[in-house]
Amino acid sequence: MKYRVAVVGITGYSGLELIELVLRHPAMECVAVMASEATGEKALADIHPQLRGISEMHCVPMDSGLMAELKVDTAFLCTPNEVSYELVPKILSHGIRIVDLSGSFRLRDSASYSPWYGFQHHAPELLDMAVYGLTEWNAKAISRAQLVANPGCYPTSVLLPLLPLVKAGILGPGSDIFCDSKSGVTGAGRKATVDMLFGEVSGNFRPYSPISHRHAPEMCQELGWDLNNFTFVPHLLPVQRGILSTMYVSFQRPINSGEIENEYNKRYAQHPFVRMLGSRRLPELKAVNHTNFCDIAWRLTFGGRRAVIFSAIDNLVKGAAGQAVQNFNLMHDLAETEGLLEGKTIAIRG
């Protein structure tokens, strides 16, 4: 059986990554690709030349009514926050399930959107409906969901390594967590700004939005951690893709490496996309890029009272499109790995 899907917002990097995964997914039939009115109707291959000879589909302006006519089962939204906010209720009104890759439904408190996302959120009922799509942690709720809020790429790289330790209660209550994350430039989106020009990025390395990055409240929400005890500083790497996060934590008592490994195994032994490197190897971008894996490692310090935790993901796959497909699989009672382990992306890019 194939499920009829639509992909909305295909002009960006995450949209391209997602359409590649959708086109080769054995249980999906892509019946529509849509973008904004400004994009107009264009051949998909004219927007993304990598798809020449792979898809003859045309991108059309967003139309929830057309989705209903096409009997779309699930819509993927790779749209900006404010756009998703406007589209979701229209699409849901047709009984279509949604996986939203924007941040519009990740935070549970509607009052948080104005200071962190810059727009007023007046749909608390949709925030109550939305399921946070961290696949390895919310599988049961995702399987029943009408609206899945796909996590941000930085939060995925931080939550997967930290949640097992927080849930085990071994971190010091009220202690500080420091997260130092580094991302490739595709994490900033596909837009023409001066700071994203090749001449600005190449041979350079810089922090941005320190302390006040909009993903911080999302991470604290899921960790159940006080934002005042959480420091997140993202950096821009002069590479195309990938995120490497380094987290510094303190424990209530001395911990040994075996205890940490045991907590990770209890949570992730049945989840194939989280790989434990332990205390011997370290994550690196080339090992995860173009895959849906998250690699996790750690080192103990101060006699086991502190630890440095490392993780690496591909920001466009596990941090966006791949996790969206994982969530689709759960929503349709498919194996988590369906369509995600059969080779790499269609067009391998740098």
Strand 58-61 with 42-43, pairing: antiparallel
Judge whether 190 lies within some domain.
yes
Are residues 158 and 145 located together in one domain of the fold? no
Nearest residue to 328 via CA among 14, 13, 125, 26: 26
Say what the pTM is: 0.92
C-alpha span between 173 and 187 (Å, rounded)? 32
Judge whether 115 lies within some domain.
yes
Judge whether 350 lies within some domain.
no
C-alpha span between 313 and 183 (Å, rounded)? 10
pLDDT tens digits for 284-337? 999 999 999 999 999 999 999 999 999 999 999 999 999 999 999 999 999 999
Check residue 5 and give left, alpha or beta (phi > 0: left; psi -120 to 50: alpha): beta
Are residues 15 and 71 located together in one domain of the fold? yes
Q: Is 30 considered catalytic here?
A: no
Are residues 120 and 225 located together in one domain of the fold? no
Residue 226: how many other CB atoms lie within 10 Å: 12
User: Are the C-beta atoms of residues 59 and 34 closer than 8 Å to each other?
Assistant: yes
Question: How many domains, in total, are found in the chain?
Answer: 2
Are residues 139 and 205 located together in one domain of the fold? no
pLDDT tens digits for 218-277? 999 999 999 999 999 999 999 989 999 999 999 999 999 999 999 999 999 999 999 999
Judge whether 90 lies within some domain.
yes
Of 153, 179, 220, 294, the catalytic one is 153
Judge whether 241 lies within some domain.
yes
Radius of gyration of the chain (CA): 20
